[in-house]
Amino acid sequence: MSLLDVREASKNFGSLAAVRGVSLSVRAGELRAVIGPNGAGKTTFFNLITGAFRPTSGSIHLDGRDITAVAAWRRVTLGMARTFQITEIFPELTLAENLRISFEVASGLRLRPWISRATAAKLHRDVEEMLDLAGLAAKAGRLVGELSHGDQRAAEIAMALALRPRLLLLDEPTAGMGEQETYDVAQLIRRLHRDRNLTIVLIEHDMRVVFHLADRIAVLDQGSLIADGTPAEIAANAAVQAAYLGKPNDAGAA
């Protein structure tokens, strides 16, 4: 059974149809890339999945359960974590504090007015482990707002991972990164997918990253899903090429 099921989801902003009747299934353990030109509706699609917006029509299902009406914060507790195209972190707290808060919330402690020493020690260990995994251990005590762009992006991924998600949604994780950083992040995503068997949906503009990592690729153009298939199928798809070459998309070709 698929972990995530989007059925005929649409989102209109006034007269603009940002997402048009998109259906997509993601199996557990899959790494699915979502690509498409600027303004295609990729981020909006993520916003529908994660509950930032209610779809104008259509439905979202997780584990076969209809979660269309479930609040965004509750979807996180159901196992959905995301990062944003523009990094969303706690800039005036240290990197360790950013992760600490993530682990506290993930451990169901968010309303606790105090915690035991043992719990605090466990949280401390979790933070250390995550810092190592993300390759950020040396920067634990730095204010996260003062880190380099690449480190901030990595920090946000680490915060999402701290939530121990079953489904991780990454919105252009390598945006604005240099060669080396892009490579590092791609390797991190690959490890998460392979070693932890994490289900990942990835919006990405860097085609090397996409074709290197993805099991399947979905292509959005002007709000519509114009293709969905293996990397080889997508590379050979005429409609996709048309969309990327900027020609007006001929729906008949899809």
* CB within 8 Å of 19: residues ≥ 6 apart: 9, 10, 11, 41, 44, 45, 48, 55, 220, 223
Q: Are 210 and 33 in contact (CB under 8 A)?
A: yes
Q: Does 44 bind Mg ion (CB under 5 A)?
A: no
Query: Binding ligand ATP by CB under 6 A: which of 3, 22, 35, 42?
Result: 42
Return the range that interacts with ligand ATP (CB under 6 A); candidates 33-41, 91-99, 117-125, 178-186. Answer: 33-41
Q: What are phi and psi of 202, to 5 degrees?
A: -130, 120
Integer Cα distance of 23 and 218 in angstroms: 10
Residue nearest to Mg ion (CB): 43
Nearer to ligand ATP, 47 or 98 (CB): 47
Contact mark string toward another protein, 22..51, x via CB under 8 A: ----------------------------x-
Return the range that interacts with another protein (CB under 8 A); candidates 2-10, 111-119, 172-180, 202-210. Answer: 111-119
Q: Are 172 and 203 in contact (CB under 8 A)?
A: yes
Number of C-beta neighbours around residue 251 at 10 A:
11
Token code pair at residue 168 = 């991780």
Integer Cα distance of 81 and 163 in angstroms: 7
Return the range that interacts with another protein (CB under 8 A); candidates 7-15, 20-28, 106-114, 130-138. Answer: 106-114
Q: Are 66 and 73 in contact (CB under 8 A)?
A: no
Which of Mg ion, another protein, ligand ATP, none binds 23 (CB below 5-8 Å, type-dependent)?
none
Q: Does 173 bind ligand ATP (CB under 6 A)?
A: no
Which of Mg ion, another protein, ligand ATP, none binds 228 (CB below 5-8 Å, type-dependent)?
none
Nearer to ligand ATP, 29 or 39 (CB): 39
Q: Are 201 and 4 in contact (CB under 8 A)?
A: yes
Residues near ligand ATP (CB under 6 A)? 13, 16, 18, 36, 38-44, 85
